[in-house]
Amino acid sequence: MAAPRAKKRFGQHWLNDEQILNHIVASANVSKGDRILEIGPGTGLLTRRMVPYAKRVVAVEIDRKLCQKLRNEFQATDHFYLIEGDYLDLNLPEQFVAQCTNENKNEPEWLPLNKVVANIPYYITGPILENMLGRISQPNPQPFESITLLVQKEVGDRICAKPGTKAFGALSVRVQYLADCEIVCPVPAKAFSPAPKVDSAVVKLMPRALEAPATNPKRMETLVKVGFATKRKMLRNNLKSLMERDHLTTILEELKINPQARPEDLGVDQWIALSNRI
Ligand code: SAH
């Protein structure tokens, strides 16, 4: 059967590579106890591979036509639930429970969804990440065990970057504060149809609480935002508006951070230490 024509406005690119699809499911370690959340199942290429291995798959798809097809294909599958709508408009997890109960499926106990596995629409990567992880000042109170996502390669590199590298930025600090992150594999643009303009990568995020979180997470958020305002500048110049330069130099020296450091040179621990000290 020919795949439906992809709609640009919904960021539709079908991932056609068998090997990569299987690799995504394997790296998410989808197994019998798992309740999976999938954003943007599309034509079901990834969904089909997860459904046999999971306890439950809840998929959220915005495209009405695709929803009809998915409903037809999976109507006999008791542990597959489709929510038609915009993921960002959902009220999680209450809406899942309500909607799934409405569908009258025979679901004796309701355990929260524990993993995300999705080839997401790239145009809402930022909001999706924030929705799933929360923010430094407000981590998701019911964190997922793992979040396995296909993202633009450049975004994946930024999420997983090590301090001192070019890709390390505010996004790296915000995400790595909330989760351990790794690149699972690169995915070339030609693995999709239609091919997007950019290469992609599969990333796996494992949310966890830090042993020593920032004492004032709101302050840490502001510090990261202001600190990375201009990347190639020295940190102490970026932070001019927050603090007098000599004072900051003293604090940096106390923390054994080179006063000439640039924002991308500080790891998450150092951002926390700095935030706790000012
Ligand atoms: N997972 C599929 C399709 C990925 S393309 C595959 O691997 O082939 C991204 C999918 O997200 C499309 O199906 C698109 O319709 C859907 N989508 C786009 N915006 C969405 C939103 N706001 N909420 C839910 N789904 C969305």
Closest CA to 116 of 160, 84, 150: 150
Mean pLDDT of 67-90: 93
Which pLDDT does position 127 carry in this prediction?
A: 96
**Could you read off the pLDDT of 161-175 as tens digits, one per residue?**
999 999 999 999 999
Nearest protein CA to atom 10 of ligand 1, as residue: 40
Mean pLDDT of 128-142: 95
Mean pLDDT of 225-250: 90
Place of tokens 């037809």: 72
Mean pLDDT of 221-230: 94
**Is it the case that residue 126 has pLDDT exceeding 90?**
yes
CA angle 76, 82, 85 (to 5 degrees): 155
Nearest protein CA to atom 3 of ligand 1, as residue: 42
Q: Which residues of 194-232 are buried (b: 16+ CB within 10 A; e: fewer)?
A: eebeebbbbbbbebeeeeeebeebebbbebbebbbeeee
**Is it the case that residue 240 has pLDDT exceeding 70?**
yes
Pocket of ligand 1 (CB under 6 A): 10-15, 39-43, 45-46, 60-63, 66, 86-88, 119, 121, 124
- Output the pTM of the full model: 0.94
- Token readout for 48 is 């089909």
Could you tell me whether strands 146-152 and 115-119 are parallel, antiparallel, or unpaired per DSSP bridges?
A: parallel
Which pLDDT does position 182 carry in this prediction?
A: 98
Q: In this prediction, what percent of the chain has a pLDDT beyond 90? A: 82
Helix, strand, coil shares, percent, the chain, to 5: 40, 20, 40
CA angle 57, 32, 38 (to 5 degrees): 20
Nearest protein CA to atom 13 of ligand 1, as residue: 42
